[in-house]
Structure 1
Amino acid sequence: MPTFTEYESFDGLGLANLVKSGVISAQELVIAAIERIESLNPKLNAVIYKLYDQAKAASQQSLPEGLFQGVPFLLKDLLADCAGVPMQFGSRFAEGWVSPHDSELVRRMKCAGLIILGKTNLPEFGLSAVTEPKAFGPTCNPWDVTRTTGGSSGGSAAAVAARMVPMAHGGDGGGSIRIPAAYCGTFGLKLSRGRTPTGPDVMRIWQGMVVEHVITRSVRDSAAMLDVLAGPELGSPISLPLPKQSFLRCLTEPSSTLRIAVSEQPFFSGKVHAEYKTAISQAAALCETLGHHVERPTLPAIDQETMLLAYTIIIAADVAATIKMLADVMGQKASYARLETTTAVLCVVGEHFSAKDFAWASHVLDLLSRQIAEFFLHYDILLTPTMPAPPPLIGASQPDHFEKNILELLRRVPYGPLLRKLIKPMAEKQFALTPFTPLFNMTGQPAMSVPLFWDSKGLPIGIQFAGRFGEEATLLQLAAQLEEAQPWASRKPTF
């Protein structure tokens, strides 16, 4: 019978196979996972809400005979409603809110046999690239506890990297799966727009830019979870149909030679660290050894200022509406006093821009999608860094005194040229930290971060691969090749 030490060496499918074959019970897996969380979480602050009693009870009952029967699992405390369980969105504003029902995604997870052990940490409402909410405090990176995990699925990535669970839920609206996956040395796949359900309560988050999936250690777990989660949702305006073939099965199918474009030039503002440039060259060489054609073409020119404004308008409108709706269902006034400053400012921005501005922003991003799709007529994959530099120290990405003053001013100014002018430096700072990931949320394309390299300080370097819309299978096949050629499963942090 596997011991506690052996628990951490299995991925999700491996643990499920042990349960199905009778080698170990689901109850024993749950106990092993709980022991590991209790041992490591005080150092990392990855898990913010524990469901141990419910998990133990579920493990003793008859579980669905799904792909992940009996496997311990964690939910990010955002979007994934679990009936009767608190959902705080990483915010003091939502304290006391309890999900009245399962989201469609969680329903499918439970049908796959997963056992939910708790909720993971995130920035307030998932609005930051670092996981440092005032409500719960920062999550620490298992590879260096003085550094950030990234965000917004930072708690999930830290939990997976630390082997608390083999995989955990995440969502991605600007890089929120790929960023923490890159910083924590895990595999993170952002899906095509509409690939998985986000309802029943909200079906088009950030106009479809937000997609939910998982962060994993193995490629096959990500593919298998996609088989579990993918498929149309009743009433959704953006659902994609199920593919003809299983994503898991496609990993073993013969793959075609891919035409891969390579670039370390940021789409938006930002500079790339020297070691990350080296990693891109090494990743390109690795792809060539696997038989793929690699080129370094000129990328389409993107109007950074226009895209920043359009992206910000859509997010701000959604945040303002979300806060209002949440206040209504909780029976409280939509006061910004309990919100972090950045969130409150986004609400103000969302309230002051007009319907005309929102329509303009949607049109701008539609044109961008067309522009990038034309580029992908000539290439199957675009290879870039996931992040431009190593993870910042905890606290380094928070607004400084000058920026806080600007944010406070933004809360008070009326809509007009001044508002646009003040938004610009705030948006530019965010995009300088994440110059590679948001583009594919804007276009709706799938993209993945693969943990292929580690830097001179022992920190992971994630490599991003983006594919054509709807072609997750191509990305997963390539990821499986990379995983076999340059395995990362045995690399784990010590802290």
Structure 2
Amino acid sequence: MTATGTDPWLDATAQAELVRDGRVSPRELVEAAVERVRATHADLNAVIHERFDRAIEEASGPLPDGAFRGVPIVVKDLYTPSAGDPAHNGARFLKEAGWRAGHDGAVVRRLRAAGFVLIGRTNVPEFGSGASTEPLAYGPTRNPWDPRRSPGGSSGGSAAAVAAGLVPVAHANDGGGSLRMPASMCGLVGLKPTRARISQAPAGAAWGIGATADGVLTRSVRDTAAVLDVLSGPEPGDPFAAPALARPLVREVVADPGPLRVGLLDHPPVDGVPADPVTAQAVKDTGVLLEKLGHRVSYDHPPALDAPDFSVRFFSLTAASLAAEMAGWGRRLGRPIADDELEVPNNALVPLGRDMSAVQYVETVEWMHAFQRRMAGWWAPGGFDVLVTPVLNGTPPPLGWFADPAEGRLRVREVHQYTAQFNATGQPALSLPLYETPGGLPVGVQFVAAYGREDLLVRLAAQLEQALPWAGRRPGPQLRPTEDGR
């Protein structure tokens, strides 16, 4: 099989099987992926740091005999270093400084050990603080389903690369929905794992509550399970620990979830924010499907989700974290980072973070810990197994929609209603590409389980993948969405 003849829509598991069977070489897989990235770069702008020559050289030599030997992958250019490669986090001042990583982080080290070949790093909004991937440093990434639209953020570059068939799997991370939202907008599987399931070594725990989590974006449940198995596990000195899983997640793909008790939430928990009709209907339809599959379904959700001050508390921790990040970069570069070196939203956040006192910070962290306890009660033994919500309170918006100077912050608040709460609690949360708008754009549905229960989510996801297959839905030139995408 030649490089140009490699099927771009095979998932990572299938590509790895081709290599093991000798039907294709790692070099052929990598060369085919490189060709696809080059051919689509002008249209998508998904991969911003190329490792093409190095990747082909690596694929031509000995590779670790791991589960994904020879399979090409891209890594998100945000807090996940790969030795010798640019690490700009979407920031102009790091691009201008030509900053490069001096080491592999734990995630990249484990990907390499599994046999993956890293072909490049993907576009992100500046320091990940955006619902769309449109950094001034590198320009916007476009949604393969409609290039006029956003692929989401902050893992938008990774999502666009997988959705367009450039690679079968991409690294992503999630500090408030940054993996699940692009999964929803680009028609992918996106599982944010339990806090500390995947080590972020050598980095610490963002915001003191371990809100960020690494994971992957894929086109199949089996890929998500198998790659998370590769990435999972602690590193010495990790500040948090995840409960051990009973067995590898890939074995859960063929396991029966049994009858589950499922709660539905089809409207924003914040008063005054109207529900998007398309995503609300997706939750309703999911409830009907789950009942047909034998699950007990009712409209219910954790009362703690209705807390009116969650978003303010989460926002303040974001500001404090970003301010600390800028102080850290100032030390590394040997000079202070001026506020006007940042894009407008972050320029406004950093002073707020600096003004937050140590007492206010600790009080906010303690509030979040109490919030986590209140949330956990809904999933306690005898309670519910899974919560189903929209991923977004809306469908993929046009590029620039969140950047509007007058309406941008309000629009982010309206759309960002269902994801950040589970970063605060550390629970596993999954976006599945179950539906689409009448105009053909993807619509993800979110499934949330109790702390440590990725196994249950994988079982349920595999059941839904069989009941409502999405593998045949792909972007292409035949798609002509209406002006509003519906």
For the criterion TM > 0.5, the same-fold answer is: yes
Task: Give the corresponding residue for 1:390.
Answer: 395
Q: Judge which range, 430-439 or 75-84, deviates more.
A: 430-439
- The root-mean-square deviation of aligned C-alpha atoms, in Å, is 1.6
Contact 1:365 1:442 in 2 (8 A): yes
Alpha-carbon separation, structure 2, partners of 1:221 and 1:392: 28
Which residues in structure 2 correspond to 1:419-458 (within 5 Å)?
Answer: 426=409, 429-458=411-440
Alpha-carbon separation, structure 2, partners of 1:301 and 1:237: 26
Which residues in structure 2 correspond to 1:48-197 (within 5 Å)?
Answer: 48-95=48-95, 96-197=98-199
Match of 2:314 among 301, 311, 314: 311
Check 1:484–1:6 CA distance in 2 against 1; reply closer, same or farther (3 A cut). farther
2:236 aligned with 1:234: yes
SS of 2:309's equivalent? helix
Contact 1:206 1:318 in 2 (8 A): no
Letter in 2 for 1:46: A
Alpha-carbon separation, structure 1, partners of 2:242 and 2:277: 39
C-alpha distance after superposition, 1:252-298 (max 9, x if no partner): 12322111101102133632222222221211111112211111125
Contact 1:207 1:314 in 2 (8 A): no
Alpha-carbon separation, structure 2, partners of 1:390 and 1:84: 38
SS of 1:450's equivalent? strand
Shift of 1:5: 5.1
Match of 1:477 among 449, 455, 459: 459
Check 1:273–1:251 CA distance in 2 against 1; reply closer, same or farther (3 A cut). same
Contact 2:189 2:432 in 1 (8 A): yes
Moved over 6 A (4+): none
Q: Judge which range, 237-246 or 464-473, deviates more.
A: 237-246
2:352 aligned with 1:349: yes
C-alpha distance after superposition, 1:214-264 (max 9, x if no partner): 000011111011110111111011132542300101211232211110110
Alpha-carbon separation, structure 1, partners of 2:407 and 2:68: 49
Alpha-carbon separation, structure 2, partners of 1:471 and 1:114: 26
Contact 2:199 2:232 in 1 (8 A): yes
Contact 2:199 2:234 in 1 (8 A): yes
Contact 1:206 1:315 in 2 (8 A): no
Task: Give the corresponding residue for 1:16.
Answer: 16
C-alpha distance after superposition, 1:92-124 (max 9, x if no partner): 021211101000111011000000000111100
Q: What count of residue pairs does the alignment treat as equivalent?
A: 472
Contact 1:197 1:230 in 2 (8 A): yes
Q: Which runs of 5+ in 1 are unaligned?
A: 404-425
Contact 2:269 2:306 in 1 (8 A): no
Match of 1:359 among 354, 357, 362: 362
Check 1:60–1:464 CA distance in 2 against 1; reply closer, same or farther (3 A cut). same
C-alpha distance after superposition, 1:417-439 (max 9, x if no partner): xxxxxxxxx5x653312101111
Shift of 1:178: 0.4
Shift of 1:402: 8.0
Alpha-carbon separation, structure 2, partners of 1:299 and 1:200: 34
Check 1:301–1:100 CA distance in 2 against 1; reply closer, same or farther (3 A cut). closer
Task: Give the corresponding residue for 1:487.
Answer: 469
Alpha-carbon separation, structure 2, partners of 1:133 and 1:119: 15
Task: Give the corresponding residue for 2:256.
Answer: 254
Check 1:5–1:296 CA distance in 2 against 1; reply closer, same or farther (3 A cut). farther
TM-score w.r.t. length of structure 1: 0.92
TM-score w.r.t. length of structure 2: 0.94
Alpha-carbon separation, structure 1, partners of 2:424 and 2:412: 15
Alpha-carbon separation, structure 1, partners of 2:274 and 2:147: 24
SS of 2:70's equivalent? coil
Contact 1:37 1:164 in 2 (8 A): yes
